[in-house]
Amino acid sequence: MDIETQMLDLAKRAKRAGAVLAGAGGQQKAKAISDLAVLLEKNKKAIFEANAKDLDAAAQNGLDAPKMDRLRIDQKVLDSMIMACGEVAAISDPVGEMESMWQRPNGLMVGRMRIPLGVIAMIYESRPNVTVDSAILCLLAGNAVILRGGKEAIHSNSCLADILSTALEQNGLPRDAVQLVKTTDRAAVTALLKLDDYIDVIIPRGGEGLIRAVVEQARMPVLKHYKGVCHIYVDAECNLDEVVEVVHNAKVQRPGVCNALECLLVHKDAAQTVLPEIGSRLGKDGVSFRACAASLPLLGDTAQAATDADYGYEFHDLILAVKVVDDMDAARAHIAEYGSNHTDVILTTNYERAMEFIRLVDTSMAGVNCSTRFNDGGQLGLGAEIGISTSKLHSYGVMGVKELTSAKFVVFGKGQIRS
């Protein structure tokens, strides 16, 4: 069977499974997700062994450190997957929920009911935890999902997919509701992107090149963000200790992820106080700076002059672009030019400026006095996330369970006819 036929068969099975899943009860779906948490812990030895095969192969193929970090499943990562299962299982089932209702002058009652999107195809790189996070969110939202992870995680993803199938079958749900594409041939992605009669939405997660390739080829809607060029603007009025801690966390905690800080903007009146402290604290942890002329002498030995290419760049590393700006308007102008609509934060003690910033900055998460690292489904209380969308339609920002549903009109009448 050729690749195109394999993908067509897989998509047809997903569509049939999605129709069954759409009618499943919330308790049944939640029980499958809760059972998955137990199975993940029970099968952790097999998971770690499968992941070790992927890590060994990735090291031999020269995969860089940030991607190796995203590929690794250790006990902490496994615990986070198990925790996500518990949190998602506890979320109220959105399917069938009436989100609004109003009465027309003729007596008709008109409402909006949440419904599944249908069949979702996830195309992603490196992170095997996406396999679990995506599956449980789609499951609770009543969507069948096709998972196509990167070749570097094939053993990990295959192991996790088998465990997912067991959880589904234990609870009387179709195993085809979650399917993994087990070929690493790139032709499989090309084939999937043509199947708009069966697949309703594509969600790519990975590098900008992957996402743009998906957008160019897909015949169905794509929910995506191209990159995470996240900014923090330090206002003239700020708490120095708080600024240093937040900037350190946003850049250093996990520099290879999409919500890590990539560019720091500092008000000119705060630069002399703030930047030496940031240079010292972050420099000790290996951060190097790409600094504008005004910030360069304030950041210490690890700073070098920035080029235009350093602004708007996603480093995925312990590198931070820095620029001194005249005021908040200049900071917003910089974000508008170089940002990616992902995550942007203001650090300030001035309430009015904070509210103006979050109202006017065009970003999927606007923050005040917090790390950019909080733009994450688990951190925002969504249990887990299937991705972050900067598309605005139909979702802007972190996509949790509710964002994986749509709404249809329902109408209740008493024999009304249109005149």
pLDDT in tens, 277-293: 999 999 999 999 999 99
Q: Are 227 and 260 in contact (CB under 8 A)?
A: no
Q: Are 295 and 321 in contact (CB under 8 A)?
A: no
Q: Are 407 and 112 in contact (CB under 8 A)?
A: yes
Query: Above 90 in pLDDT, residue 377?
Result: no
Q: Was domain 230-374 assigned CATH 3.40.309.10?
A: yes
Q: Output DSSP code: residue 47.
A: H
Looking at every residue in the chain, the average pLDDT score rounds to: 96
As a CATH number, domain 3-224+391-412 is 3.40.605.10
The dihedral sign for the CA sequence 94, 100, 103, 104: negative
> Which pairs count as long-range contacts for 39-42, CB under 8 Å and 24+ apart, including other chains?
39/163, 39/166, 39/167, 40/78, 40/81, 40/82, 40/85, 40/132, 40/163, 41/78, 41/82
Mean of pLDDT values over 103-110: 97
Q: Are 82 and 137 in contact (CB under 8 A)?
A: no
pLDDT, position 126: 81
pLDDT, position 361: 98
CA–CA dist 214, 224 (Å, integer):
10
Task: Please count the other Cβ atoms lying within 10 Å of the Cβ belonging to residue 345.
Answer: 28
Task: Please count the other Cβ atoms lying within 10 Å of the Cβ belonging to residue 175.
Answer: 16
pLDDT, position 33: 98
3-class secondary-structure state, position 308:
helix
DSSP string, 172-240: T--GGGEEE-----THHHHHHTT-TTT--EEEEES-HHHHHHHHHH-SS-B---S---EEEEE-SS--H
Q: Are 320 and 332 in contact (CB under 8 A)?
A: no
Mean of pLDDT values over 244-273: 97
The ranges assigned to domains in the chain are: 3-224+391-412, 230-374
Q: Quick one: tokens of 55?
A: 């890590």
Q: Which residues of 128-158 are buried (b: 16+ CB within 10 A; e: fewer)?
A: bbbbbbbbbbbbbbbbbbbbbbbebbbbbbb
Percent of the chain at pLDDT exceeding 70: 100
User: pLDDT by residue (tens digit) across 186-245?
Assistant: 999 999 999 999 999 999 988 889 999 999 999 999 999 999 999 999 999 999 999 999
Percent of the chain at pLDDT exceeding 90: 92
233's CB contacts (< 8 A; 6+ apart) are 265, 266, 267, 325, 328, 331, 332, 335, 344, 345, 346, 347, 357
Q: Quick one: tokens of 215?
A: 């957008």
| Listed residue (412, 19, 396) closest to 198, CA to CA | 19
DSSP string, 375-386: -STTTTTSS--S
CA–CA dist 124, 151 (Å, integer):
10
Strand order, beta sheet including 98-103: 98-103, 109-116, 405-412
Q: Are 88 and 140 in contact (CB under 8 A)?
A: yes
